[in-house]
Amino acid sequence: MDEINLKKELYELCREFILGRIETAETALEQSREASNDDTKSSAGDKFETTREMMAQDIGRTKGLLADAQQNLKVLESIIDVSIGERVRNGNLVYTNQGIFYISISAGSLSSGKSQAFAISALSPVGKMMVGKKVGESFTFNQKEYQITAIF
């Protein structure tokens, strides 16, 4: 598989990953709201108030996860047509002596055909070390030496 097709495939895998997270968060939010609305006040007033507060906290956490996933989708959409450059930046497919990295969102290890790549955010620790580097440059992360061999 050539690098341009691999990059497109990885983009689609990241997109599916983040759309799945959005769908899961929206479903959880809807279920939490329904549970909150269905909860009726019982004779144990303190228990009721504690339950309501826990539900409100759960809804708040889920809203945060949903907002994070939606932000990741925006990041992903902004890098769909990033061209090949001299230096690593968001949207690049980066080959190193330690593996292939797709600088996009944090989606972990992705497989496409015979290729495996790691989808990482430019803001992740290894992403920060990689961004701005050129082919031939190297960096050390977790006591491993990474040398950039190609950028697409």
Q: Per-residue pLDDT for the chain (152 aa), expressed as one digit of tens each? A: 688 899 999 999 999 999 999 999 999 989 888 877 766 555 555 555 677 778 888 889 999 999 999 999 999 999 988 888 899 999 999 999 999 999 999 999 999 988 999 999 999 999 999 999 999 999 999 999 999 999 99
- Tally Cβ neighbours within 10 Å of residue 60: 11
The C-alpha R_g of the chain, in whole angstroms, comes to 21
What proportion of the chain, given as a percentage, has pLDDT over 90?
70
Cβ density class 74-109: b for 16+ within 10 Å, e for less: ebbeebeebeeeeebbbbbbbbbeeebbbbbbbbee
Q: Provide the pLDDT for residue 73.
A: 96
Residues 124 and 105: their CA atoms lie apart, in Å, by 9
Q: Tell me what pLDDT residue 79 has.
A: 94
Number of residues in the chain? 152
Report pLDDT for 57. Answer: 86
CA 151 – CA 92 distance, rounded (Å): 6
pLDDT of residue 9: 96
User: Are 18 and 69 in contact, with CB atoms under 8 Å apart?
Assistant: yes
DSSP H or E stretch at residue 69? helix 45-78
